[in-house]
Amino acid sequence: MALTTESQARRLMARLDALAAFTDDPPRLTRLCLSQSHRRAAEQFIAWAKESGIAARIDPVGNVRARYEGRRPGAPALMIGSHIDTVRDAGRYDGALGALAALSLAEGLAAQGRRLDVALEIVAFGDEEGVRFPYTLTGSRGLAGVNEPEALAQKDAGGVTMRDALKAFGGDPDHLGAARADGVAAFVELHIEQGPVLEAEGRPLGIVSAINGATRLSAVVTGSAGHAGASPMDLRRDALAAAAEMVLAIEARARAEDELVATVGRLDVEPGAVNVIPGRARFTIDIRAPLDEPRRRAVADIAAAMQAIARRRGVRLDELTPTHEAAGYVCHPAIVAGLAAAVVAVGADPRLLPSGAGHDTMVMGQRWPAGMLFVRCKGGVSHNPAESISADDCAIALAALTRFAEDFRAA
């Protein structure tokens, strides 16, 4: 039975609601990479694909993969997808929309018994957020064949290595190379905008021009724990007070330059008691900019400012370790042009805009022509349970993605 775009979009929205039930932290949605809830979400994805006669599987690096063959078996593939891991207390659309939309697209073709010139490779990446393990994007890096071997040795906060988590998930850490994709002509990702521009301009869709590069670091400041009542203020070496000054220095550096953003998103204090001067503070730093050179300069300036604060306050900056590095990516002009044509074909304006958020596309683009379609989200809110899109926008996004795939020709 043929499906209309509207009925496909309704089913897609219902599946997005259903997928949000796979969480390790109910009632909040927290589906960290390679967790039990991630595994159950992957199984559900595979079950949905099977209902439409599409065989899906978990690949060695923890992605869910499926192929919808083209007219000619073994044809070059258009790869489409996004991620199904989430941040803590997440919204239900970041990532899941694009992963499930890729499946919807293939299902729509299957329901009509249609094949395209290209095969469709569907992917639900498993490691986009980098919340559980610091070195991230291992799913797309595995497909592109650019993972660092040390990735498997990294540990989560509970001491579990990525190798063990991947094994438990159903991946194959001893054969990561088998995840590498070949015969791919291009990669496209549908994603919510995660910002307010499209809504402010009254547009449902946007085409991504470029994606910000990112550097993440972990910092450890060591002072001296002591009695909160008995230690005079001028004789303290308070690790948290020093870290707080560093956080403000990071913020000031980012504020001083257009388009540079920096965030301290996690801070842990030891020993963590009301009457003990903090002896140690650990925190994360995330620095992003559209161009790589200004980002690298900012990283160096921030490191120097942190050292100076540590010296002045008599504490040690014991660690300032890069945990993630992703170069900015300018989306491929042929993909941008194809997406623009598809957006126009479904009756929307081809608005180009940059992405401040990171995406698997920036890795996929290292190996294949790649690009992204954005859909408007309510209030520009993301990484927040209030994340929301309308069913109408979902339908137009699906129609544009379908149109892009129909018109795509492998070079």
Residue from 85, 121, 127, 129 touching ligand GLV (CB under 6 A): that is 129
Tell me the DSSP string of 11-77. Answer: HHHHHHHHHTT--SBTTB----TTSHHHHHHHHHHHHHHHHTT--EEE-TTS-EEEEE--SSTT--E
Of residues 288, 330, 304, 292, the one with CA closest to residue 130: 288
Residue from 358, 365, 369, 371 touching ligand GLV (CB under 6 A): that is 358
Residue from 60, 91, 95, 173 touching Mn ion (CB under 5 A): that is 95
Count of residues making up the chain? 411
Q: Which is nearer to ligand GLV, 122 or 357 (CB)?
A: 357
What residues numbered 326-355 form the site for ligand GLV, per CB under 6 A?
none
* Beta bridge pairs of residue 218: 284, 321
Chosen from ligand GLV, Mn ion, none, partner binding at 213 (C-beta under 5 to 8 Å by type) = none
Give least dist CB 86 to Mn ion, A.
7
Residue 360 near Mn ion by CB under 5 A:
no
Q: Which is nearer to ligand GLV, 183 or 356 (CB)?
A: 356
Q: How many residues bind Mn ion (CB under 5 A)?
A: 2
Of residues 87, 82, 194, the one with CA closest to residue 131: 87
For 86-112, give one letter per residue: b (16+ CB within 10 A) or e.
bbbebbbbbbbbbbbbbbbbbbbbbee
Asked if 375 and 192 count as a contact pair (C-beta separation under 8 A), the reply is yes
Residue 357 near ligand GLV by CB under 6 A:
yes
The two tokens of residue 339 are 């997406």
Chosen from ligand GLV, Mn ion, none, partner binding at 91 (C-beta under 5 to 8 Å by type) = none
Chosen from Mn ion, ligand GLV, none, partner binding at 328 (C-beta under 5 to 8 Å by type) = none
**How far apart are alpha carbons 370 and 333 in whole angstroms?**
9
Residue 377 near ligand GLV by CB under 6 A:
no
* Beta bridge pairs of residue 184: 77
Give least dist CB 46 to ligand GLV, A.
24
Residue from 59, 94, 193, 286 touching Mn ion (CB under 5 A): that is 94
Residues near ligand GLV (CB under 6 A): 129, 357-358
Residues near Mn ion (CB under 5 A): 94-95
